[in-house]
Amino acid sequence: MSRDARTVGAPSSSVLDEPATGAAPITREELHQLARHRAATPTTSCYLDVDGRHLIRPQDLTRSVDGVLRRARARAGGDPSRLEDLDRIDAYLHSGFDRTGVRGLAIFANEAAGLWKVVPLPCSVPNHVSVGESPLLGPLEVALADHEPIGVLLVDKARLRMLVFSWGELREQEELAGDLLANDFDVSNSRDEAHLDGRANELHDRQVRLAARAAFEVQARSGFRRLVIGGPDHLVADVERNLHPYLRKIYHGRIDLGPGAGHDELRRAVDVAEAEIARALQAAAVDRLRDVAGRPDGRSGVAGLGPVLHALATHRVDRLLVSSGYEAAGWRCPACATLAECGPTCPGCGQTMRPVEDVVSEAVDAAAAERAHIDVCVGNADLDVLGRIGALLRY
Ligand SMILES: [Zn+2]
């Protein structure tokens, strides 16, 4: 019996000849091309949250997008080139683009210089519009770096499947199906029950080892950063115990599916797991904020609008946490771009600041421009208690 004929991890199917994970929304070459773009006319970089999980109805999306574009137009100062680019972005967004699998958009526009690039992202990004001589790639790079592919291990006593969910795509990595164990387990050869039990245990243990090894080898190959496992409880419990320590660290939990699961139910289960993972990461960041924001040195984190704006002005924000829907009037200095809760004298340069209708969105813009990680938290009561906005600091 050639029971090890199909070794887990050996490239036994054509699937493995393809890239191990789904394609990123933008290629390295395209990113470099954008980074090299320079023109005499200003380039508009527009990041938009189009996530259907909280912008459910088309009118929710329209309201959100219109607010972003209205603020961008107000800041364009009548520059025809900037207004033309905003008009084109506006037209694109109102043309009813396909939101399937898309939670964020990055749009780079400079009509006069022939630049128009839309990058649909399967992850949400905070709303942000900036204008400069070159495209603003920081938020896109942060989104690419923050992307967490999820490994999905499905196991029962006879089958083993390993998939990776990445950039909105679910890809099969390994499949050991069929009579893997049944071949070995020829009941007719033995009537000795103790012997049969022994064989069953042996096969169970072997399946546990194969499953743990498949997860380890696919992780090494594909680099998934979270793991979920589905299968019968007693088997999954033993697989969990046999995971490599690194996999145990990135293990998220169980899903209620086995190796026979269809593509659509797998997609739904992974979507749920992905949302749970994102919420857990946000909750951990808010916990950390709560721990450090009260410290007297104010060095590792700050909470509340005033302290956050001050931290932004001194370029110390590493991670900005803001409650979804939080808006507040404030001030912005036309000379040095400092944001403040109270005006009109700029705390940075002493000039007279101008009032802005929503200094929170200005703060998100400023943080995005500095490549800070930005978490827009939905329904996080702990963050609300801390003043609906906070920041973990670089130093
Ligand atoms: Zn100033």
Instruction: Give the pLDDT confidence of 92-126 residue by residue, as tens digits.
Output: 999 988 888 899 999 999 999 999 999 999 888 88
Among 321, 301, 331, 333, CA closest to 376: 321
> What are 100's two structure tokens?
């399937």
Would you place residue 208 in the very low, low, confident or very high pLDDT band (cuts 50, 70, 90)?
A: very high
**180-211 as b/e: b if 16+ CB within 10 A:** bbeeebeeeeeeeeeeeeebeeebeeebbebb
Whole-number Å distance between alpha carbons of 347 and 363: 16
pLDDT of residue 374: 86
Which residues are in the CB-under-5-Å shell of ion ligand 1? 333, 335-336, 338, 346, 348-349, 351
- Encoded tokens for 25: 């929304």
| Structure-token pair, residue 361 | 């969105």
How many angstroms is it from 334 CA to the middle of ligand 1? 7
| Interval between CA 306 and ligand 1 midpoint (Å) | 16
The percentage of the chain sitting over the pLDDT mark of 70, rounded to a whole number, equals 89
On whether the CB atoms of residues 365 and 341 are closer than 8 A, the answer is no
Give the pLDDT of residue 18.
35
Tell me the CA–centroid distance for residue 332 and ligand 1, in Å.
8
| Euclidean distance between CA atoms 271 and 168, whole angstroms | 9
- Give me ligand 1 centre to Cα 4, in Å: 70
Residue-wise pLDDT tens digits, 60-73: 999 999 999 998 99
Angstrom distance (rounded) from CA 278 to CA 285: 11
Are 152 and 255 spatial neighbours (Cβ–Cβ below 8 Å)?
yes
Q: Cα(186) to centroid of ligand 1, in Å?
A: 81
366 CB-near residues (< 8 Å, 6+ apart): 312, 337, 339
Residue from 374, 393, 380, 157 nearest 287 by CA = 380
Closest CA to 89 of 122, 60, 119: 119
127 or 349, greater pLDDT: 349
Interval 130-182: pLDDT, tens: 888 889 888 888 888 778 899 999 999 889 999 999 888 888 887 765 444 44
| Prediction pTM value | 0.74
Task: Find the 313 Cα to ligand 1 centroid distance in Å.
Answer: 10
Going from the Cα of 221 to the center of ligand 1, the distance in angstroms, rounded, reads 50
Model confidence at 11, pLDDT cuts 50, 70, 90, reads very low
The model's confidence at residue 362, banded by pLDDT at 50, 70 and 90, is: confident
Share of the chain above pLDDT 90, in %: 54
Confirm if 357 and 329 have CB atoms less than 8 A apart.
yes
Rounded distance between C-alpha atoms, residue 159 and residue 261, angstroms: 12
Instruction: Show the domains of the chain with their CATH numbers.
Output: 14-21+147-261 (3.30.420.60), 28-144 (3.30.960), 283-393 (3.30.1330.30)
Contact 150, 274 (CB under 8 A): yes
Q: Which two tokens stand for residue 73?
A: 């137009």
Ligand 1 centroid to 360 CA: how many Å? 18
Task: For residues 240 and 245, give the distance between their C-alpha atoms in angstroms, rounded to a whole number.
Answer: 10
- Cα(337) to ligand 1 centroid in Å equals 6
